[in-house]
């Protein structure tokens, strides 16, 4: 697997991880310490929305480098 391919897979895994963790923080984590896990959930949600944007930016930049 090339470095470009690994980078795309890594971005996908990170996005899914943070989306899952945000979902857990909003549902399961709230029963433990609500204020802390709500903050963690919001941070994870923001990261899970930003990483695909970075992925698109990376793919566009990689296309320019390899063409």
pLDDT digits (tens, 9 = 90+) for 6-62: 999 999 999 999 999 999 999 887 777 788 889 999 999 999 999 999 999 998 988
User: Which pLDDT score is estimated for 55?
Assistant: 93
Q: Where are the alpha helices (DSSP H) in 28-66?
A: 34-66
What does the block give as tokens for 12?
């996908």
Task: Kindly state the tokens that stand for 62.
Answer: 């990689």
List the helix and strand counts (H, then E) for the chain.
Answer: 2, 0
Rg (Cα) of the chain, in Å, rounded? 15
Q: What is the rounded distance in angstroms from the CA atom of residue 22 to the CA atom of residue 57?
A: 23
Residue 67, pLDDT > 70, answer no
Model's pTM, two decimal places? 0.81
User: Contact, 38 vs 26, CB < 8 A?
Assistant: yes
**What does the pLDDT read at residue 63?**
84
pLDDT reported for residue 22:
94
Per-residue pLDDT, 51: 96
């Amino acid at each position: 697997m090339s470095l470009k391919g690994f980078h795309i897979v890594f971005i996908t895994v990170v996005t899914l991880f943070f989306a899952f963790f945000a979902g857990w923080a909003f549902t399961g984590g709230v029963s433990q310490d609500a204020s802390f896990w709500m903050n963690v959930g919001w941070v994870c949600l923001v990261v899970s929305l930003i990483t695909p944007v970075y992925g698109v930016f990376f793919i566009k930049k990689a296309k320019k480098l390899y063409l």
